[in-house]
Amino acid sequence: MFKKILVGYDGSKGGKAALAHATALAKEGKGQITALWVREPLPRYTDLPGEPEEESEAAEDYFTERKKEVAEAAVQQGVPIACETRCGHPAKTMVKFADEGGYDLIVIGHSDHSELWGRLLGDTADRISDHAHCSVLIVKRCEK
């Protein structure tokens, strides 16, 4: 069983599916979960005064909302979930965070990109599964 689970959570449908699977696994195996939201770095230069501050405030507000969603999931499932945020490239940051934290599973939602877009650029889940030093569960949403 997995004892230390890292879940990529951004509030998307794929992120919510990943969080649901991670909480079920943690509950079953008495594991611990950390939900990680990775945001892209802000541009270093801008033409508009105050833009970086506004973007930073918006990102903090967004993360606060994600923390509330994670807290609700933790209460519903009866599983404590830590919540972290980092700035950087999503796949690279997730892999580094998991490696440094000694996680034995990364749970990530599959993106909603088209097949062509995914083939051209790859997606975060593909990159994480290629570079992670631990097991990776890619959760695909099932439409009904």
Query: What distance lies between CA 6 and its chain's CA centroid?
Result: 8
* Interatomic CA distance for residues 76 and 62, integer angstroms: 21
Burial class (CB in 10 A: 0-12, 13-18, 19+), 58: exposed
Would you state the pLDDT for residue 95? 97
Q: Which domains does the chain have, with CATH numbers?
A: 4-139 (3.40.50.620)
Q: What is the mean pLDDT of the chain?
A: 85
- Please answer whether residues 129 and 115 qualify as being in contact, where contact means their C-beta atoms are separated by less than 8 angstroms: no
Amino acid found at 101? G
Band of pLDDT at residue 54, cut at 50, 70 and 90: confident
Would you state the pLDDT for residue 39? 87
Could you read off the pLDDT of 93-117 as tens digits, one per residue?
999 999 999 999 999 998 665 455 4
Q: Which DSSP letter does residue 30 get?
A: T
Would you state the pLDDT for residue 1? 83
Global pTM exceeds 0.95: no
Indicate whether 92 pLDDT > 70: yes
Measured between its terminal Cα atoms, the distance across the chain in Å is 30
Would you state the pLDDT for residue 123? 79
Could you read off the pLDDT of 22-52 as tens digits, one per residue?
999 999 988 999 999 998 776 655 565 556 6
